[in-house]
Amino acid sequence: MSRTGKKRLVAAFMLVLLLNVSPLSVLEKRVVGAAPKADSLPEISSHAAVLMESSQGKIFFSQNGAERLCPASLTKIMTLILAHEALQQGKVAWSEEVTVSQKAWETGGSQMFLEIGQKVPFNILLTGIATISANDACVAISEHLYDSEAVFVQEMNKKAQELGLKNTMFQNSSGLPHPNHYSSAEDMARLAHYMLRNFPESLEMHSQTEFTFNDITQYNRNPLLGRYNGADGLKTGHTDEAGHCLIGTAEQRGLRFITVIMDASDPEERFRDTETLLNYAFRNYALHQIFQAGEVIATANVKSGKERTVDLHLTKPLTAVIPYDRQADLDIQFEIPENTPAPVQKGDSLGSVKVMLDGQALARAPLQAAENVKKAGIFVRFFRLIGGLPGGLWRLITKTWHNIF
């Protein structure tokens, strides 16, 4: 074969390769990378354990996760949520003074040693709850917000119902033992997810390693702080009935996980099991960017528009938490209206894109118009209409028109 013939053969081969690359194939290459084999599921010694990915709230691992157990001081996450919501709604001010009652002073267990009649800023009480699990501060806040702890507990249970916590019932604001005070590891994970999503700034308090009040310095009992990379929360708990409990959270490379351990035999077991869950999570999952912010990824048809289509893009990056060994299995789906009437304004929401795996959505985001599309004039729309008619019908109309005139 001549040199010219060889070049033509190579060119033809390259053309065939190019013609067989679809837009979806290009998209898959953007998320597929070296995929190490996934570790086996973690072995947990504690009675109940849950691993949740924080951005979507998806549970990746659950051991006895729906079983009703004593939550001990994990209860305080709900107390803190109601306190943060009261701040958000303007029902209380950050530095507003709270007067300590005798009931708060009498509350046993872990405490910040409040004194009867003492006036303490609301934010200091919150910090005492978050860092050293102060039971007396829980009662003081509940009475300040709702006049009595009993009414506050009703609000706790109302919030639990709103969040769909089917295995949770509270009897007090602190988690002290009560026969009808219970929750589950999965419910606690969902509660922690709600708190981190709505009040991420609360981690500033939860990550503090010590707390000083009334010249008494106490230390945060969370064993993750300073021992696990990226750990910054969230809450420990312990009673004889509940065993040793821990809601943990850590962030690495933009990826955050939540762990829940309930009814561990000792503090070291709850730390070891939490570490096992976090190691499994960070070794087997990665945060991948599917699309960049502002990137045009689709088009929508515009009915009666000056332009017949409009580009669609995302205002924020679309990311998904993906198992390392499942990246090639992603299914990216677009939901776009068949026709959008003009005019279209830049920023209008026109459908959505979602990332699917095994029939479940890993991420979803709205698609927005990238530019304005004005409505076409009447003559443009008329000529588009007649231009779309079948050729025979158009010839008949033209012939009739000439016969008339």
Distance, in Å, from the CA atom of 405 to the CA atom of 228, rounded to the nearest integer, reads 89
- Which of the residues 46, 54, 55, 76 is marked catalytic? 76
Instruction: Indicate if 54 belongs to the active site.
Output: no
Residue 361 CA from chain centroid, whole number: 13
**Cβ neighbours of residue 103 closer than 8 Å, sequence gap 6 or more:** 139, 143, 149
Instruction: Indicate if 352 belongs to the active site.
Output: no
- Which of the residues 46, 55, 133, 207 is marked catalytic? 133
Distance, in Å, from the CA atom of 145 to the CA atom of 138, rounded to the nearest integer, reads 11
Catalytic residues: 73, 76, 133
